[in-house]
A and B are shown apart, each in its own frame.
Chain A
Amino acid sequence: MTHWLILPVLAPALTGALIVMWMRHDLLLQRVFGIAGSTAILLIALKLNLMAGDGQVHVYRLGNWTAPFGIVLMLDRLSALMLMLTAILAVTAQLYAIGSGWDRKGWHFHALWMFQLMGVNGAFLTGDAFNLFVFFEVLLIASYGLMIHGGGPMRLRAGVQYVAYNLAGSALFLAALGTLYAVTGTLAMADMAARVAAMPADDTALLRVGAVMLLLVFAVKAAIFPLHFWLPSTYANAPGPVAALFAIMSKVGIYAIIRFFTLIFPPDSITGTVATDLILPAALITLTLGQLGVLGTASLTRLAAFAAIASIGTLAISIARFDVPGLTAGLYYMIHSTLISAALFLVVDLIAARRGGDIWLRPRPPIRDIGLVSALFFATAIAMVGLPPLSGFLGKLMILNATAGDGWRVTIWATILITSLIALVGFARAGSLLFWRAHEMEPGPGSDPGDGPRPPRGPIPVKLETDEPIQDVDDSASPALAFVAVGALLAGSVAITLLAGPLTDYLHITALQLTDPQTYIDAVLTGQEGLK
């Protein structure tokens, strides 16, 4: 048995604890260790992808206990892919946080970042339903800290709302797990799948209740209508790099839906298509609401939040049938939308920092670096809306192609295409208000480099001062690093566009592995001789 599977959980846990205990007051050390931790996770994720690429399902039995009794960590292609995506996002958003100076606007940024990664990685790896709940709580409690990083009345209030919503979600999660335990008598996912498959088909009422409650919990995390109400205020008020990292958090919900409803409650099991019947209409409404929000909002950060909701809607439409073409297209769109949602939150933060924290969509005098920032906004908006040549176009095309034989084809196609147009108008409106109409305004004080008194630009102290002004480009440690981070995410989008062929082939075999739950079950439950 290889110990690689536990490392994505252990590495951030140890780094985070180290940062909290030994380098609380030294931001430079925190940055070095934080980036080192994230990079280590990236390398581990790379190694795990190579391991999972052989098509086997790898099992790590914690404490070497026999499967239905001990907790297992599982690695298949989907888990490895999600780990990789998380690590890429973590490194780039953390570089942005350092470059923009966000990490010095409060305490314990890098430690919380590590604990957040620990929770997310654990949720992707675990093969035990209750352990999934525990990792959800780990990632949530770290996200509460990150969400209110930097403080401010609006952010704290949004934070309380976010906590309240997620606590209710956690309570529902426990109720769902209790119900499923009462019905199946197990919490190990592979064992539960085997027992559900062996259950009589005429007594499924309680099982369906449990399955739908789980679906609701994951829909809260993924922000699918009508459980998306927490997302706009939370993401809009979270610090830019944190909102970027949260782009993977909603994907945790989608991942859990895919995992549970391909492994334990697949469409051909006794629970039938109960998940599809609920997800598909909800996803269509989510997409519509998100894109209408993009068009209708008055705030730049909310624009990004609604765009994230819309991308979740698109993704949920694609995976709703849990069939191979839909999952393949959905996984491609998931990679794309994670990278681009994060890039959008970072670009929005770049703009807000250069407008003195003004997030409202109204003309202001031209900002610093307007050419570069507007180019980044333009590229991100193109990818987000789904115009060629970036990955959003390919992703949506694949989803349209995958749903071509679907009974709901007309509704799905009409919704995706019309809402894309709405989003296009929304982004065009935002871009022209922010960048073009800026040139009609008279330049205000401070907007021109030679104009008015400038704050001193000496070397920035790395010790933490918590009462510093928030959202000011002048206290950013290295604006160039911030641009590099956004550029890296956009380069990721370009890369998955150029390598779409091989990537889609890989995602196809990933989807095939998902729709064959028996391999997963056998990997856990067989070959256990010699264990405790």
Chain B
Amino acid sequence: MELLVATSLGAIMAAAIYLILRRRTFALILGMTMMTYAINAFLFATGRLVVNLPPILKSHSGIDPADYTDPIPQALVLTAIVIGFGMTAVTVMMALGAFIEGGDDRIDMPPGDRRMPSASDRTEDKDEAP
């Protein structure tokens, strides 16, 4: 089971990183979502992989570690899911805003962010102005 979980997490993570490196907002959001899934599943697995055990102690007397599963990673995953969900919503809204205002869905900044508009650009601006 450890091998199965580890390889599938690795595969999801690889796909997520590939999608993020596409530098397009839609692929980025998909990639981020997949990355969140992979991380959440990983977080879940940090409390030991066991099947069919409740996350509560069955008796107060004598704690048998083979009798329950660690509840803390489950609580952490819940928090992480909520935060990840909110963050995805924010990303979608900002990506939409950037797409509508900027005209394309590229992640990397256009050259105009770094390079000074040259003198010819400025005269063009003047020509276009009414």
Contact = CB atoms under 8 A, between A and B. Distances in A.
Contact of B86 (A141, A175, A298, A361): A141
Contact of B35 (A148, A168, A236): A168
Binding site of B, secondary structure by majority: helix, strand, loop or mixed? helix
Nearest to A172: B39
A130 interface: yes
A130 B74 CA distance: 13
Contacts of A167: 32, 35, 87, 91
Nearest to B101: A153
A161 B112 contact: no
A174 interface: yes
Contact of A179 (B28, B46, B112): B46
A160 interface: yes
Interface in B37-51: 39-40, 42-43, 45-47
Contacts, number: 116
A440 B74 CA distance: 67
B111 to A, nearest CB: 11
Contacts of B112: 154
A509 B36 CA distance: 42
A137 B79 CA distance: 11
A412 interface: no
Interface residues of B, number: 41
Interface residues of A, number: 40
A164 interface: yes
B109 A157 contact: yes
A233 B39 contact: no
A47 B18 CA distance: 50
Given A141-B87, A164-B20, A156 B76 contact: no
Contacts of B95: 160
Interface in A133-182: 134, 137, 141, 144, 148, 151-154, 156-161, 163-164, 167-168, 170-171, 174-175, 177-179, 181-182
B10 interface: no
Interface of B: 20, 25, 28, 32, 35-36, 39-40, 42-43, 45-47, 72-73, 76, 79-80, 83, 86-87, 90-91, 94-95, 97-98, 101-103, 106-110, 112-117
Interface of A: 130, 134, 137, 141, 144, 148, 151-154, 156-161, 163-164, 167-168, 170-171, 174-175, 177-179, 181-182, 187, 233, 236-237, 297-299, 302, 360-362
Ranked nearest first, the 10 interchain pairs of A and B with the lowest CB-CB distance are A156-B98, A153-B101, A153-B102, A182-B46, A178-B46, A298-B116, A360-B116, A178-B43, A157-B98, A160-B98
14 contacts: A137-B87, A148-B94, A159-B94, A159-B98, A160-B94, A161-B108, A163-B94, A164-B107, A181-B76, A182-B46, A233-B109, A236-B113, A297-B114, A298-B116
